[in-house]
Every structure is written in structure tokens, then in C-alpha cells.
Chain A
Amino acid sequence: MSTSDPIWFTPPPRPSRPPAPPEQPEATQVDIRIDGQPARVPGTMTILEACRSRGIDTPTLCYLENLTPVNVCRVCVVELAGARTLAPACSRKVEAGMDIQTNSDRVKLARKMVLEFLGSSVDLSTAPQAQSYIKRYEARPERYGSDVETVDQPVKIDNDLYVRDYSKCILCYKCVEACGTDAQNTFAIAVAARGFDARISTENDVPLPESACVYCGNCIGVCPTGALMFKSEYEMRQAGTWDETRQTKTDTICPYCGVGCTLTLHTQDNRIVKVTSPLDVDVTHGHLCIKGRFGFEFVQNREENSGSDG
């Protein structure tokens, strides 16, 4: 081949080294103590990240890797030597000389109280993570009695894709963040009212079909308590057929546009019952659109339904 061939006959040579992103300045390391053990970590880390890097399992409810910390659940609090109040590990950055206690009596009591308040007012029956924390911190929500005020209310079923059961809502704000600037930027929901009356609401509390919602389901993807749920999962639970022990999760790629989102297909009895996306995939960061999350029905019931429109 001569060098005068058009470029599309002869591939151009490789660059002398693979292209890389611009170099970032390396974070300065700081010395801290966690539960009495000295540790050296990057100064850009949060306390939560520092704890996790040392294998310390700090509980979180409102924190998620793909969302901005909002510091509302207070279950991740740690004790800092010399500080008057407990600090939220999810958002507080480490500082040189910090002396962190993750499991002191004061920390355990604070976490226990948070979990008891939540457990006494909210239905946590579909929140396995919160339940495990309740067990771990020996919280006893029942000690407040049976006539304690709760957020109990009817399930909102106003569309065919997902249901909202705010009896199970712990007001962690994750759905608001995923609907807002952290991912979807649709702003269909926000926190309305204050104090015990605070609740997640569409604008003017209209049903979803009258709201700005575009049914990406990213709120469901981040909900830690099952307050937001695929309608298919809700109906299977009502019918008593939802059985996670018989479910398989398989990662594949969405069949629609060319972005290439990873879908985790949750299947039971050879049917897709739920779709999620892994947080640690750079394409999605755990977020999907309406087609990726809900547009799978066409592979089900193919024997009965030979494709309605060709």
C-alpha cells in the first residue's frame, strides 16, 4: 500500500500513547484517627469514605454514591473529639488531626433514637436495610406504644408504571434529588410542608399524570424503603407472589437508543419483574429513562401477543 492511498483505505497510525484525561493534582494526604486507629487518607474524602476504606460499616439511609449528600437522616453520625455535636459522616470532609469515634455510646444512642423514631412512625416492612440497622442498634420502636402518630396514608396508584406508598416514606430526599439536579432535572417532586407534616409531593399535590413526571423511575431506583415501587412488584406483593429468593439479577444492555445503558434485569419465573442499573457504571451512574426502566414488556407474553403493530 502506498502512502498516497486515501485515509479510509489505510487506517491512520496509532497515537504514540493512549489518550488520557488531563492529570488531576494529587490530593494531599491527612492523618486522622478512626476508633483509635491512626489512618492516612486523601484530604478530599468524607468521613464516610474514610471509614469505608478502613472496612468500617457506617449505616446510611439518605446517602447514596450517585447523589449529593443532604444530611437529613442523621443515622451516619459520628463523634469527633472536641466537637459539641455529632457530625454527619456522609458529607463532612476529613481534616488533619480529626479523631473520629464511629461506635461510641453517644453515637450508638443517637443512631438508635433516629431508628426508633423512624420505625415508630413509618412502615419499614419493605426496607430491609433499615430493619437490619434497627436490629444492629437494638432499637425498639414499639416502646412508644401502639397509638403513636404515624405517616400512615392510602397508597397512591395513579398510573400504570409505579406506585407511591408514602406510609413507607422516611423523607430521605433521595427521590427529590434524583428527580432534580443530581440526575433527571425534571423537578416533578419536592418536599412540601415542614416538621411532622413534611411530605414528598408533586406540585400542588396533583396526580403524577398531571405533573411534570416523565416516568424515568430514577426515584424508584434510589428509594431505600419501597415507598416507591414498580406497579408490577406492588401487585406481585399484594398477590403474595413476590419472592426475591427465586429471583435472578442479570446485567445486560438496553435495547433502545445508542447510549448503551446497563440494565440489571430482575427475573422471576422467566419474567422480568423489575429493572435497575448499577451505581458504579459510568454510562448511567444508576439512572435510566422510561424506556430502559419500563419498556421491557415486549419480550413477555410473546406467544399470546405476536406484536400488535408489526
Chain B
Amino acid sequence: MVFGAGGGTNSYQEIEETDVILLWGSNARETHPIFFHHLLKGVRNGARLYAIDPRRTSSVQWADVWAGLDVGTDIALANGVAREIIAAGLENKEFIHNATTGFDEYRRSVEPYTLDYVERETGVPAHVIRDMAHMYARAHRAMICWTLGITEHHNAVDNVLALINLALLTGHVGKYGSGLNPLRGQNNVQGGGDMGALPDRLTGFQHVENAAFREKFEKHWSAKIPAQKGWHLSQMFEAMERGELRALYVIGENPLQSEADQNHARHRLESLDFLVAQDMFLTKTAELADVVLPASAGWCETEGTVTNSERRVQRVRKALDAPPGARDDIAILFDVARRMGHDFGQPVAENIWSEVRALSPAHAGMSYARLEASKGLQWPCYDENHPGELYLHSRLWERPVRGPRVSFMPVEHDPPVEKLSAEFPLRLTTGRRLDEYNTGVQTSAYPSPLRRGETLDLSPEDAERLGVTDGELVRVLSRRGSVTVPVRRDHSLRPGLTFMTLHFPDDVATNLLTIDATDPKSGTAEFKAAAVRVEKV
């Protein structure tokens, strides 16, 4: 959006050698444990770790400083950090002058975010904000890493822009050990986007509304491509509501249980004329489907590639034969195409990858042979002799800067859609645990000794006020629904903040409570901020 391609700008090894780390809205200790190994090496090498999170998580326990902001006040905090950096004259004037545009407007936009105002709005003490601003700006190298604490909000994209602005302000991007790194939540969410599984992009981040890109693909495919971008997930669900989207083909997702506001999601899926589910399991979504296509397990029963959070394309390989009847996703898709009158040839993963290389310049240098020999390559990798880029945007440090300058994108604080009220006085936020994953489709099958089922995690103070204790069943109500769930007191939570996961939807459907207020730019729902009330049962 700002830089032209979406991917973590650094490699994992760089966090071992950076000086300041802002871990923002991420409990990486539990959600990205092996990345956290790299981060801990950085901490042990002397990096100062700031953890910005409403909860005092197991990641925060490793931090030098915990900025325990209120849910949904990230932009206020980021703009406050920016204002303090500018007020102290610590912005990187050389980088701003040579590599960016729009600084004056940005400076004016953050001017109202004084330390006093931001302390009031976020709950983070002014001296913590000041310290974070000064240390981040003064660092030789500094990295910002974030996860769903930034993106599962109604203003997800603005949250990300607020962080990008900080990097532009200080020049902490485009250098070894300095950059912006979204940690991806699923093993190929990076690769899916890279391959064009986005409403506005063709493979390799090539915009579908760009005629030259479109013509290249049309020529290769001998087919016309719609010239306008399509709908993202939330827009698709809204289109179902309006009756404009009548048929849905779901591959490897369980939206009935993973979408916010589950009753609403069920109503919309049930209103479809035709629903196809292609999955390893008969998920709850598949149970609603008109046609179910049993698929094999991509990561161990098929050949192919996935791309990780450091843009590394790596091979997945077939280790097991799929059970009878389950087929490789690409074989199913090729057969569907054939029934529609198109012959895609043999469903061989390497052939598809060759097409990717032919159409996406960022992947052109990654032959299967190189991927095998190198244990993976990072995009962009332009030709067979290119090593792949260790970190992105180094062009911004060439003088004169190579290519267009990048623009500050001023953003304003906009609190969660659902305000707390006398009727719904508690903030419910959601997240993952170390041993579980999403709606539990995969993890429920292994006997984790850490598993303890769904709970409503409450601060000890709130538990006392409500007169409830560990294990006691309570009813949690939001404006959209209610669930009954045992209480667990959690010292990592401050009064007013409660926490649940989405891991056990058959026992406790947390998404009956969550709000489907979505970010108009990305379509992400505000899983992180609902307003709830807790009642004894």
C-alpha cells in the first residue's frame, strides 16, 4: 500500500542483531514461538524490547518495558510517539527529505497527540511513551513487529499505517536490522496473497486494474480478466446479505466458525443458492454445503510451496498417501476446470510454479532446483543468479533515492466501534494460546497436556467484584449473543479487560459475541474489541 508490496521487510536473523524491538499487538511467545527464539537471541544480545499489548502476556514478560494500552488505542499511541520524536527533534531529517513525501501534513496531523492526551486516551503513562519514542528514534537499528492485535480492528489498515509512519519518521526501514514485520498467522497466508488470492491483485502483487499487467496474464491464460477489483471476504458476506452473491466455493476455510458474529455468518451462508466446501474435514461450514469435495492435507500429502513471514518460499512435500477419496486441491481444481471446458493440463505443482515464475518478476529466479538446494528463497528473486532480498526497500537509502519516494499516510485515532456502556461494561478481546490453533480443526486431534478448554479470562479484581471464582460457570453476553463458559482468573489482565479464544467453537462459540464491524480497506473484522457483560448462572 505504501511500499508497493506486502511482506515483512526483514529476515528473522536480523532481529538477533537489532537494538530496539517494538513488539506491537503480538503475543509471539505463544503464537509464533520459533520466531520468538530469534527475538530472544536479540534480547540476549542487548536489544531493548518494548511490548505494546493490553494484556501482560508471556511475551510481555520478556520485555524491558510494557506499554499496556487500552484495546483499540494503537493509533493514538503511535501518533503520540511520533509527536514526541518530532518535538524532541529526533526525526531522521536526511531520510525524510530524500526518501519520503508528505511529512509536513503528517507533522500537523500528529500535533494534537500530546503526551497528556495520549496518556489519557491509551492508559500508557507519559514517561513510558516518551522513553519509547526516544529509544526507538535514537536506535542504530530498530524493528517493529506486529500481529493480529494491530489488524483485527475496524481500522486495521490505519493501524498498520500508523506504524509505517513511525518507521518513515525515523528511517527505520530498508536497512539491515531495521524494518516493519507483520508476523503471519497461517503457514501460507503470505504466499496466498503473493499468489494473487486478493481481490485486487494478480500473482506477484500486480494490480488487476493495471492494463499492462492484466494483458500479460490474459495473453498467458488466453482468457479475459475482469478489469475491476473484486470483493474481499467481508464484502462477499455483505453481498450475500444483499443477494448479489449467490454461490460460494470455500477451500480450506471454516468461515461459519471463524467469522465474527456467528449467527449473522450462519444466516448469510444459509441464504446462498449453492455452497461448495473443499476441505480435509467435514467442517461445520462443509455440513451446510451442497457439495463437499474431500481434499488431502496440503502440507504432508501433496507437493508444492508455501511462503513464510520473512518472504521465504519453501517446498512442502508429500510424506503420506492421502486417505481414499481425498484428493490434492490442484487435482480437484483442474477437474472442475475441465468440466467447465478448460484443459489446464496435468495437475503438477512444479508446472504451476513455472507459470508463477513466468508471470511474477518477484518469483522469476526461484526454480524448484534452487528451492531444493537453498532450503528456500526470499522474494523478490528476479533471476536465477539473484540471491533473493534479505531485507526490502534498500532502494530508499540510495542517493539520489532510487524510484519514487514513499508517502507518509496520516491517520487519526478512532476507538473501537462498540463503546463500553453501563449495560456492557467489560471489554472482550480474543487471541490464541500456545498449544491451540484457530477453530481447533487441526489441534483438537492431538493430546496436548496444556489443554484446558475455553474459559472467560478475567482480572482478579473483576472476578472478585462479580463474586465468581475459577471454574465457575458464567454467562457472557454481548449485543449479538451469549455463551456460557467457566471463569479463569488471569493476572495478565487489568480490570475491565476480559479474554477468550476461538479454539473450542463447539463447546463455547466465542464468535457469537464478537462484532463483525469490519475495516473498509482490508475487510478484517474487529475480533479484538467487543463490549460484554458477565452474569452469574
Contact = CB atoms under 8 A, between A and B. Distances in A.
Contact of A9 (B62, B210, B323): B210
Contacts of A290: 33, 434-435, 448, 450
Interface in B204-222: 205-207, 209-210, 212
Nearest to B395: A15
A204 interface: no
A58 B515 CA distance: 62
Nearest to B390: A19
B190 interface: yes
Interface in B29-72: 31-35, 37, 40, 44, 62
Interface stretch (A114-122, A191-199, A257-265): A257-265
B312 interface: yes
Q: Which of A10, A160, A298 has the most CB of B within 10 A?
A: A298
A289 B443 CA distance: 13
Contact of B375 (A18, A209, A270, A282): A282
9 contacts: A8-B1, A8-B205, A185-B40, A255-B187, A257-B184, A257-B186, A309-B439, A310-B282, A310-B439
Given A15-B398, A18-B389, 16 more contacts: A10-B4, A18-B387, A209-B449, A251-B317, A252-B317, A253-B299, A256-B437, A257-B186, A258-B185, A258-B190, A258-B309, A283-B34, A290-B448, A291-B435, A297-B446, A310-B281
Contacts of A8: 1, 4, 205, 207
Contacts of B299: 252-255
B187 A296 contact: no
Given A18-B389, A306-B282, A288 B187 contact: no
Interface stretch (B157-165, B347-355, B399-407, B459-467): B399-407
B432 to A, nearest CB: 9
Interface stretch (B78-86, B300-308, B518-526): B300-308
Given A258-B32, A270-B321, A215 B447 contact: no
A131 B446 CA distance: 34
B456 to A, nearest CB: 19
A288 to B, nearest CB: 7
Contacts of A21: 13-14, 176, 390
A287 B34 CA distance: 7
A298 B37 contact: no
Nearest to A260: B308
B298 interface: yes
A153 interface: no
Contacts of A281: 375
Contact of B37 (A184, A248, A258, A299): A184
Given A261-B34, A307-B280, A208 B375 contact: no
Given A19-B389, A209-B449, A257 B187 contact: yes
B444 interface: yes
Interface in B69-109: none
B441 interface: yes
Given A254-B299, A258-B309, A267 B4 contact: no
A302 B326 contact: yes
A159 B449 contact: yes
Contacts of A291: 434-435, 437, 443
Given A252-B300, A252-B315, A259-B308, A14 B442 contact: no
Contacts of B440: 309-310
Contacts of B280: 298-299, 302, 307
A294 B398 contact: no
Contacts of B442: 255-256, 295, 298
The 4 lowest CB-CB distance pairs between A and B, nearest first, are A260-B308, A258-B184, A307-B281, A250-B319
Contacts, number: 262
Contacts of A103: none
A239 interface: no
Interface in A158-186: 159-161, 181, 183-185
Nearest to B201: A8
A96 interface: no
Contacts of A214: 434-435, 450
Given A248-B319, A283-B312, A296 B300 contact: yes
B34 A284 contact: yes
Q: Helix, strand, loop or mixed for chain B's interface?
A: loop
Q: Which of A159, A252, A255 has the most CB of B within 10 A?
A: A252
Contacts of B444: 298, 308-309
Interface of B: 1-5, 12-14, 31-35, 37, 40, 44, 62, 176, 183-190, 205-207, 209-210, 212, 254, 256-257, 280-285, 287, 297-301, 306-310, 312, 314-321, 323-324, 326, 361, 375-376, 380, 382, 386-395, 398, 402-404, 406-407, 434-435, 437, 439-450, 504-506
Contacts of A259: 12, 32-35, 183, 308-309
A181 B44 CA distance: 9
Contacts of A14: 380, 382, 395
Contacts of B392: 19
What's the interface size class on A, roughly? 35 or more
Contact of A257 (B31, B297, B398, B506): B31
B446 A298 contact: yes
A159 to B, nearest CB: 4
A272 B506 contact: no
Contacts of B32: 257-259
Contacts of B390: 18-21
A13 interface: yes
Contacts of B31: 257
Contacts of A261: 34
Contacts of B301: 299
Contacts of B187: 253-258, 260
Nearest to A302: B323
A76 B406 CA distance: 56
A260 B404 contact: no
Contacts of B281: 298, 302, 306-307, 310
Contacts of B446: 294-298
A134 interface: no
B176 A12 contact: no
B5 A160 contact: no
Interface in A272-293: 272, 280-285, 287-292
A7 B3 contact: yes
Q: Which of B188, B320, B447 has the most CB of A within 10 A?
A: B320
Contact of A1 (B176, B210, B375): B210
A50 B307 CA distance: 36
B189 A258 contact: yes
Given A208-B449, A299-B320, A305-B445, A310 B283 contact: yes
A255 to B, nearest CB: 4
Q: Which of A14, A183, A251, A307 has the most CB of B within 10 A?
A: A307
Contact of B212 (A1, A7, A267, A297): A1
Interface in A208-253: 208-209, 213-216, 248, 250-253
A246 to B, nearest CB: 14
A290 B436 CA distance: 9
Contacts of B506: 308-310
